[in-house]
Amino acid sequence: MNNNVGLQRTDIVEIDPTFLFRWEEPQRAYVLLYPEGLVKLNSTAGEILAVVAQTVAVGDLLDNFIAKYNNPDIADDILTFLEASNERGWVRIKR
Amino acid sequence: MSAAGSESSVSAPVKVDGEGLPLWLLLELTYRCPLKCPWCNNPLDFDRYRNELTTEEWVDVLRQGRELGALQLGFSGGEPMQRRDLEELVGEATRLGYYTNLITSGMGLNEQRLAALQRAGLKQVQLSLQACDAELNNRLVGADAYAHKIAAARAIKARGFPMVLNVPVSRYNIEQAPALLELAEELGIEYVEFANLQYYNWALLNRSDLLPTREQLSVAEAVVAETRARLGRRMTIYFVITDYYAERPKACMKGWGNIHLTIAPDGAALPCQEARVIEGLKFPNVRDHDLGWIWHESPVFQKFRGESWMQEPCRSCPERGHDYGGCRCQAFLLNGDAASTDPVCGKSPNHHLIEEAVAAAMAGRPQNRLIMRQRGLNVA
Ligand SMILES: C[S@@+](CC[C@H](N)C(=O)[O-])C[C@H]1O[C@@H](n2cnc3c(N)ncnc32)[C@H](O)[C@@H]1O
Ligand code: SF4
Ligand code: SF4
């Protein structure tokens, strides 16, 4: 188990397989369901996790968002969010 | 660009904005159960409910629940393993897109049924355990249950289910908190919930025998804090102090008719599992009405929704948006008026009822006269 929160560009990330992540039409949002709880994600967080749900390398994910929004500054925010999600156990490094 | 979510869980009562949708659906499939827990929150006259919903009727509830926006689904009871159609219902719920939780005592949960439940898409299991020695555990539940529960726990973990170990806390078992946490760690359980008892139904009957002392609670709290620090992310421990020792009531159900919907074995729709203790309410039944009408329109679900029903001191209290005035069932049971302030609140004119109950419990003990859950008890 990796207790080191810092994510590397080469890390492949995925949603914890015991969680359920999907678009929920009545909420008009992505939701994450797990034991004893649920999270309704704001549009940005949902957009990021929707990419993580495809199982992806951190570096590729960052590059795609930078290109999509034509803004290199968002990389830090996205990485912070991914690391917080890893810390919370929503997202894990695939090995 | 900022990224965050609004979070809701039993431990972190951050509001999830359900936008008025019943996000949490709890199905009490049956009140039948082989155990006799003297704190059981099922009705005292549980054996009078013989007209359980059929498989088809439950499937219809599941379908309607999803249409209303329900996401988290609990299969509870009574003992849900008593229903032979549980696997079928879990399968249907999975197809509909629920996150499915099984809430069980472990009785009847054998390897074969667990495998079938996993095939049906079950996501998570909550298992109740009362003590970590067979003698006390079996005494508390009135049956030979300990070995089954431990075997069930091992089987659940062997299949990789995330698991909540639910420990209903009373003065009899609270001192086992350290040993229970060790056992949970050894079994690889991710979530441990020390469930302080809610004093309704059987627990209220036995209240003066069950209430732990303040000292017992603070010792257990220290053990929990130490274990949290030691295990970090490996284990999440929920420990909520019993509201009898709190200054403010719990934000019960996060508000009446706000995000929780319970369907009782006979199809009665309840804003919370305990709501049947409130006399004079006619609960709508899924056999007579569709779930949308029940949730949005029925008088019972609107009765204590929002704030307009509140009396003083809640009505003008700055904390009312935070705890919704506490628990309607507790207000009814102890004050005789479901719209009054939960007497657990220090601002309630009836708060002395709680203090007196604690004092009486501490003075008259130990009685060791637990009334076990049983049929046909004449409580009049
Ligand atoms: C009523 S039981 C039904 C499921 C199953 N028979 C069991 O006991 O696990 C649901 C959960 O509520 C807990 N429980 C029962 N009575 C309670 C009470 N008065 N206060 C708090 N929790 C209670 C049980 O420990 C169990 O985890
Ligand atoms: S709390 Fe005990 S008696 Fe009540 S349903 Fe659960 S196992 Fe049965
Ligand atoms: S008076 Fe009512 S709203 Fe205020 S803290 Fe007490 S229970 Fe909550």
Give B364's DSSP letter: T
How confident is the model over B64-78, as pLDDT tens digits? 999 999 999 999 999
Tokens of B196: 């302080």
Ligand with an atom nearest the CA of residue B344:
3
Give A93's contacts (C-beta < 8 A, 6+ positions apart).
A2, A7, A11, A12, A13, A86
Residues in chain B, pLDDT under 70:
1-19, 366, 378-380
Mapping DSSP onto H, E and C, the string for A42-57 reads CHHHHHHHHHHCCCEE
Is the shortest distance between the CB of B203 and ligand 1 below 6 Å?
yes
Predicted confidence at residue B6, as pLDDT, reads 39
- Kindly identify which residue of chain A lies nearest to residue B160, measuring between CA atoms: A18
B96 and A CB contact within 8 Å:
no
Query: Which atom of ligand 1 lies closest to the CA of B130?
Result: 25
User: Percent of chain B having pLDDT more than 90?
Assistant: 87
Give B134's DSSP letter: H
How confident is the model over B119-158, as pLDDT tens digits? 999 999 999 999 999 999 999 999 999 999 999 999 999 9
Predicted confidence at residue B20, as pLDDT, reads 82
Among B39, B46, B241, B270, say which to mutate for ligand 1: greatest number of ligand atoms within 8 Å of CB: B39
How confident is the model over A43-80, as pLDDT tens digits? 889 999 999 999 999 999 999 999 999 998 899 999 99
Chain A hits for B233, CB-CB cut-off 8 Å, are 3, 87, 89
CA dihedral over B87, B88, B91, B97, signed as positive or negative:
negative
Burial zone of B223 (CB within 10 Å; 0-12 exposed, 13-18 middle, 19+ buried): buried
Domains and CATH numbers, chain A: 12-93 (3.90.930.60)
User: Percent of chain A having pLDDT more than 90?
Assistant: 59
- Kindly identify which residue of chain A lies nearest to residue B124, measuring between CA atoms: A35
CA distance A45 to B373: 47
Is the shortest distance between the CB of B205 and ligand 1 below 6 Å?
no
Beta strand extents in A2-93 (DSSP E only): 12-15, 20-24, 29-34, 37-41, 56-57, 91-93
Q: How many CA atoms lie within 13 A of B94 on its CB side?
A: 16
Predicted confidence at residue B9, as pLDDT, reads 29
Instruction: Report whether B250 contacts B243 (CB < 8 A).
Output: yes
Predicted confidence at residue B5, as pLDDT, reads 40
Check A36 against B2: CB less than 8 A apart: no
Does the interface ipTM go beyond 0.85? no
CA dihedral over B344, B259, B17, B256, signed as positive or negative:
negative
Compare CB distances from A39 to B6, B123, B190 and report the shortest one's residue: B6
Check B124 against A35: CB less than 8 A apart: yes
